[in-house]
Amino acid sequence: MSHSIARQRDSVRYRSRLMQPEAERRPDTHPLTWRLRDDGGVVWLEEYLRKDGYQSVRKALAESDPQAIISTMKDANVGGRGGGGFSAGLKWSLTLQGGDIPRGYLICNADEMEPGTFKDRLLMEQQPHLVIEGMILAALANNSFYGYIFLRGEYVTAARVLSRALDEARAGGWLGRDIDGSSFDFDIALHTGAGRYICGEETALINSLEGKRANPRAKPPFPGQSGAWGKPSVVNNVETLCNAPGVILNGAEWYQGLSGDRTDDGGSKLYGISGLVENPGLWELPMGTTGAEILDRAGGMRNGRQLKAWLPGGASTGFLLPQHLELALDFDTVGKEGSRLGTGLMTMVTQEQSMVALVRNLEEFFARESCGWCTPCRDGLPWTVRVLRALALGQGEIGDIELLEKLAADCGPAQTFCAHAPGAAMPLQTALRHFRSEFAQGISEPRIKAEEG
């Protein structure tokens, strides 16, 4: 089977499912998904326009005040949905512009290769014009003259849908010269990646876009100062950009109110769940919804299985325990528990699953996806895999747990060139913290086994 056919089959087999019926989704409470149809069909331009599509762009162009867009986004405090939570408005306020600084690029990060994550895919496959509308607003705010959607190569359905939507937007006057009769010009190209996780890191993405090897770049300079082809560039996640139209149309106060008194972070979020639960899928819920509510919406664990641990937002976040299900899933609360909100899509682990085998699987992924630049990541991650493989086979040696702790610490924050290594370290460190005895059982020497336990 050719590589491209395998990719297409994958894309068809795994659907990104929104679990809330149309009747439950309203414009004032579900800004990301209220336009989606129950049949899962694409909301093309005509339907999108009927459902208030591109009204935020019309409003912003009529007001012709990029600074106002930035300050509304800053007040709304839309935390970056690519996993870091950095305020989109703040990022936009730091982009170099004005004077003799050339107009730059607006890049939509649609690489979505974080294991357990399938939220951007839903937005792109079913509502491509919301992505485009968010990009136009960001371009206006950042004075970008051209945009790129950097799309994960395997997302063939999203590629097809986005291509047609870009054509529709051009034909409808929402892209190209003099958008909606204004003097603002902006167009977007779709760029499909070759399927490497590191391409999601924003500076590696820029290198890849330029046709170079996808190694992360040194920061500073940040992309907002010097990004693609040396020009000021803004990189935002798909879901982050999809928040902008609602904020610009309805204001920062409305956005902040969406999360009620659950959390200080405003807005709604595409939360999701996978693993052995009854109904894996996605929901648009207020920011700060608890893990317990999401698990409940998924119908609980499959066939009454017992939950052992869970990852709150992808493979590069830290394991949490069943008692953490009552916590608000926001950036600060999850951070305080030694993990990260990440992408906000939970992966559930049952009592029967081996933590050693699971972590080995994750570290194999991270080791394979290292760009190879920094020693702790390039050499350390394959070493953790070797140790974890031995432990999984019950052939571990005395000192293996300490060795894993050392290798993970070497990959910690500020030890390597990008956040790939700290992301790889987090599930390992938290699994060792919470389930040390499981790792100790993989050591063949009985005396040490007793001590470690």
Which of 320, 362, 421, 432 contacts ligand SF4 by CB under 6 A? 421
Chain position whose Cβ is nearest to ligand FMN = 200
Q: Which of ligand FMN, ligand SF4, none is residue 157 near (CB under 5 to 8 Å by kind)?
A: none
Q: How far is the CB of 146 from ligand FMN (least distance, A)?
A: 18
Give Cα separations from 33 to 21, 136, 215, 280 (angstroms). Answer: 10, 19, 35, 18
The two beta strands, 345-350 and 307-311, are antiparallel
Which of 200, 288, 427, 442 contacts ligand FMN by CB under 6 A? 200
| Stretch in the footprint of ligand SF4 (CB under 6 A) among 64-72, 91-99, 316-324, 418-426 | 418-426
**DSSP code at position 254:** H
Residue 154 sits in the site that holds ligand FMN (CB under 6 A): no
Residue 86 sits in the site that holds ligand FMN (CB under 6 A): yes
Tokens of 100: 């003799």
Beta bridge partners of 282: 18, 272
Return the number of the residue (20 or 343) whose C-beta is nearest ligand FMN.
Answer: 343
Which of 240, 256, 274, 416 contacts ligand FMN by CB under 6 A? 240
Residue 419 sits in the site that holds ligand FMN (CB under 6 A): yes
Residue 84 sits in the site that holds ligand FMN (CB under 6 A): yes
Q: How far is the CB of 369 from ligand FMN (least distance, A)?
A: 7
Burial of 123 (0-12, 13-18, 19+ CB in 10 A): buried
Other C-beta atoms closer than 10 Å to the C-beta of 311 total 29
Q: From CA 62, how far away is CA 380, in angstroms rounded?
A: 54
Instruction: Report angle CA 153, 83, 143 to the nearest 5 degrees.
Output: 75
Which strand (E) or helix (H) includes residue 269?
strand 268-275
Which of 35, 111, 252, 417 contacts ligand FMN by CB under 6 A? 111
Per-residue contact string for residues 113-142; x = within reach of ligand FMN by CB under 6 A: xx----------------------------
Other C-beta atoms closer than 10 Å to the C-beta of 197 total 23
Q: How far is the CB of 450 from ligand SF4 (least distance, A)?
A: 37
Residue where the block lists tokens 């992505």: 131
| Stretch in the footprint of ligand SF4 (CB under 6 A) among 53-61, 92-100, 112-120, 410-418 | 410-418
Residue 198 sits in the site that holds ligand SF4 (CB under 6 A): yes
CA-based torsion, 56, 60, 66, 72: positive or negative: negative
Q: From CA 170, how far away is CA 163, in angstroms rounded?
A: 11
Q: How far is the CB of 385 from ligand FMN (least distance, A)?
A: 17
Residue where the block lists tokens 């100062």: 225
Residue 217 sits in the site that holds ligand FMN (CB under 6 A): no
Q: How far is the CB of 111 from ligand FMN (least distance, A)?
A: 4
Instruction: Report angle CA 160, 161, 167 to the nearest 5 degrees.
Output: 95
Which parts of 143-284 fold into alpha helices (H)? 156-171, 202-209, 238-250, 252-257
Q: Which of ligand FMN, ligand SF4, none is residue 265 near (CB under 5 to 8 Å by kind)?
A: none
Which of 416, 438, 440, 443 contacts ligand SF4 by CB under 6 A? 416
Return the number of the residue (158 or 235) whose C-beta is nearest ligand SF4.
Answer: 235
Other C-beta atoms closer than 10 Å to the C-beta of 253 total 11
Return the number of the residue (196 or 308) whose C-beta is nearest ligand FMN.
Answer: 196
| Stretch in the footprint of ligand FMN (CB under 6 A) among 139-147, 192-200, 356-364, 379-387 | 192-200
Q: From CA 319, how far away is CA 104, in angstroms rounded?
A: 39
Q: How far is the CB of 355 from ligand FMN (least distance, A)?
A: 23
DSSP 3-state of 110: strand
